[in-house]
């Protein structure tokens, strides 16, 4: 508000005019505006901006070379793990998730999912392919065995011909060896 005159220029930016590499000039936020800086620190806003830049470059390359494109899918949502059965040595858990729809990009729908598993804090496996149908409530699911006395962690990655999404949050399930003293459910309420 103290600025009496702000210099606005239309320049011939050589980084976008003379390069053989696709370029995107983006003026997004003002460091002198508090509301802009709140957005600048928001991870969800940063994610939206980065995805917009990715889609802009992808569509430019598609137009330039006359090819079709497919946008990589968004990460899955509503991911949960629940126990189906708890036996002496083996237990079964069911993983459920929903696809996240990109309302601005119809090509971004996932065609398959990869469920990655690790045991007791080890490395992640290469992923188990899930390309089944969703149920009436819109959930995809996978039932798998876990061992007593181990901690099993899971994450889901959506995929299509455009690539892989970012992984889901990591969920964990475990049953102690010996007699159980009860059940504990941990609910992530961050997005509520």
Q: pLDDT band for 1, please (50, 70, 90 cuts).
A: low
Tell me what pLDDT residue 77 has: 94
Tell me what pLDDT residue 65 has: 94
Which residues does 152 contact at the CB level (< 8 Å), separation at least 6? 93, 117, 118, 119, 146, 172, 173, 174
Q: pLDDT band for 190, please (50, 70, 90 cuts).
A: low
**84 three-class SS:** strand
Q: What is the mean pLDDT of residues 76-92?
A: 84
Q: Over 90: is that where the pLDDT of 88 sits?
A: no
**Residues 71, 105 contacting (CB under 8 angstroms):** yes
- pTM of the entire predicted model: 0.80
Tell me what pLDDT residue 98 has: 96
**Residues 156, 113 contacting (CB under 8 angstroms):** yes
């Amino acid at each position: 508000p103290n600025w009496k005159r702000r210099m606005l220029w239309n320049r011939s930016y050589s980084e976008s005019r003379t390069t053989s590499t696709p370029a995107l000039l983006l003026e997004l936020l003002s460091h002198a505006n508090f509301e802009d800086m709140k957005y600048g620190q928001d991870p969800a806003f940063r994610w939206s901006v980065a995805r917009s830049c990715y889609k802009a470059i992808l569509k430019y390359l598609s137009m330039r070379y006359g090819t079709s494109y497919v946008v990589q899918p968004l990460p899955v949502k509503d991911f949960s793990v629940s126990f189906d059965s708890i036996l002496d040595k083996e237990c079964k858990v069911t993983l459920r998730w929903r696809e996240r729809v990109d309302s601005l990009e119809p090509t971004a729908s996932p065609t398959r999912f990869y469920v990655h598993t690790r045991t007791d804090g080890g490395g992640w496996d290469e992923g188990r392919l899930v390309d089944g149908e969703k149920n009436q409530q819109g959930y995809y699911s996978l039932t798998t065995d876990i061992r007593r006395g181990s901690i099993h962690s899971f994450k889901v990655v959506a995929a299509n011909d455009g690539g892989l999404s970012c992984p889901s949050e990591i969920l964990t399930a475990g049953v102690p060896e010996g007699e159980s003293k009860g059940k504990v459910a941990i609910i992530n309420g961050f997005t509520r």
